[in-house]
Structure 1
């Protein structure tokens, strides 16, 4: 399911570009997805819920990590501002 999902692929591509030492903001993924679909400048807002859902699914699958305040967060129990990134070796 996630391998052919365009939002999940956008998130993974941005995380790969950032590398394992950095994370991305979910709004970056939503904006990149909207740009790729040639939507207007504010269309990204409508994709934020989908980005969050895909980030949670990817975290559950072990493909990325959700961070809150710089620390890994439980994908099933986090609130507020978050970032996503590749799993770190440390």
Structure 2
């Protein structure tokens, strides 16, 4: 199990590296945290919901908690 703090730190590091206008796939964070990253995806999304990040689908903001399918994350403005 990856600690929530490690997930949050990885998500925020990726977001800050990209800057306020660029987004990233949550799987990028999961891949940095574990070679067996797929099982982490639900936890990565759950942690992202409590961070100053915006989730989007097709460029439109969505609720990370209820979004189905692929999302992207970026810093909240």
- TM-score, with length taken from structure 2: 0.84
The gaps in structure 2 that reach 5 residues or longer are: none
Q: Which runs of 4+ in 1 moved over 4 A?
A: none
Across the aligned residues of Structure 1 and Structure 2, the Cα RMSD in angstroms comes to 1.5
What does residue range 1-90 of structure 1 map to in structure 2 within 5 Å?
5-34=5-34, 41=35, 43-58=36-51, 63-88=52-77
The gaps in structure 1 that reach 5 residues or longer are: 35-40
The structure having more radius of gyration, on CA atoms, is 1
- TM-score, with length taken from structure 1: 0.73
> Secondary structure of 1:24's partner?
coil
The count of corresponding residues between Structure 1 and Structure 2 is 74
